[in-house]
A and B are shown apart, each in its own frame.
Chain A
Amino acid sequence: MSELILDITTISISYVLFWLVIIILILYPKLSKRKVQRRLNRLNQNK
C-alpha cells in the first residue's frame, strides 16, 4: 500500500480514538448518575 493511504489510515484511527475517549468520558458520569438515581428512587418507593 502506498504511504499516503497508510498515513490516512493512521490519522483516521487516531481521530476516531480521540472522539471515542471524549464520548466515553462524557457518557460515563451521565449513565452512572442515571443508574444511581434509579436506585435512589427505588429505595424511596420501598419506604
Chain B
Amino acid sequence: MTFKLKKNSYLLIVSLLLLIINLLLIFGLASFERVVYIIFFYHVSAAWLSYFSFGVSLIGHLLYLKQKKMNWSNLGKNSIIVGVFFVAFTLITGSLWFNSTSGAYNNIYWQWSDARQTTTLILLLSYIAYLVFRNFIEDREKKAKLSAILGIVFFPTVPLSYLSAIIFTSLHPLINPNPGEPGSIYWDSIKLFILLFNLIAITILFFYLIRELKELDIAKQKLQERLYTKMEEGR
C-alpha cells in the first residue's frame, strides 16, 4: 500500500513538528522567575501571526482593486479568517496574563484604560465586522470590491494596536534584549531564539492554512457553477 502525501501536507507536518520541538525547547532551555511567563511565547507568536495575516490581507485587497482578480480578494478574506482567530487568542492570553501579574489573581482580567488591550479589541471587532459584512453580499464582484475597501479602511487598527503600548499609557510590558529598562521584560538570547523558533513554526502553519482555504474557495466556486448550470438546464 502506498501512502502519498499532498504537497501542502508537508507544510502542516513541518509546522506541527516545529511547534512540538518548541515546547521541548521552552522546558529544556528557558528559565523563568514564574511559570506563567511561558504564556509570552504563545501570546507574542499569535499576535505576530495576526498582524502578519492582516498585512497579507491588505496586500490581497490592494491587488484585487488593481487587477480585479478574485484570487486576491479570497486571499484577503482567508488571511483575515486566520488573523481573527489568532487575535482573539492574543486577547484572551493577554487578559489571563493581566490577571496573573497586574491583577495578582484577583479576577481582574480587563482594564479599559489600557491602550493595547482596548485597541486590540477594536481591531478584533473591526475584522469580525468585515467577515459578517462580506457574508451578507450575494454578488461576487460587489462582494470583492466592497470588502476590499473595508479591508483597507480597517487596516490602520493594526499599527494602532501595535503602537498603542508605545505611544499611549499601557500596562503592557515590552520584551527587551537589554536588561534594566523600565516597563520592559528582559529576555536573553536563548528565550529570543525560542520565540523566533515559534514564530517560524506558526508562520509556516499560516501558509498551510491559506492554501487549504484557497482550495475550499475553489471547491465552493465549482459548486456554485454547477448549481448555476443546473438552474439553466431547468429553465
Contact = CB atoms under 8 A, between A and B. Distances in A.
B85 A24 contact: yes
Interface string B218-231: 01101100110010
Interface stretch (B38-46, B131-139, B171-179, B188-196): B38-46
A21 B86 contact: yes
B213 interface: yes
B170 interface: no
A45 B32 CA distance: 61
Interface string B34-54: 111011001100100000000
A44 B36 CA distance: 55
Interface residues of B, number: 36
Given A11-B36, A36-B223, A29 B213 contact: yes
Interface string A25-42: 110011011001101100
B209 interface: yes
A9 B93 CA distance: 12
B39 A33 contact: no
A26 B209 contact: yes
Contact of B46 (A3, A18, A24, A43): A18
B191 to A, nearest CB: 15
Contacts of A10: 36, 39, 96-97, 99-100
Interface residues of A, number: 27
Interface in A1-21: 3-4, 6-8, 10-11, 13-15, 17-18, 21
Nearest to B92: A17
B89 A40 contact: no
A6 B106 CA distance: 11
B219 A37 contact: yes
A40 B100 contact: no
A14 B39 contact: yes
Interface of A: 3-4, 6-8, 10-11, 13-15, 17-18, 21-22, 24-26, 29-30, 32-33, 36-37, 39-40, 43-44
Given A18-B42, A33-B219, 9 more contacts: A3-B34, A4-B35, A6-B105, A7-B34, A8-B35, A18-B89, A21-B88, A29-B213, A40-B219
The 8 closest A-B pairs by CB, nearest first: A7-B36, A29-B212, A7-B35, A29-B216, A36-B219, A18-B42, A14-B93, A21-B89
12 contacts: A6-B105, A7-B36, A7-B100, A11-B38, A18-B46, A24-B85, A26-B12, A36-B223, A40-B219, A40-B222, A43-B223, A43-B230
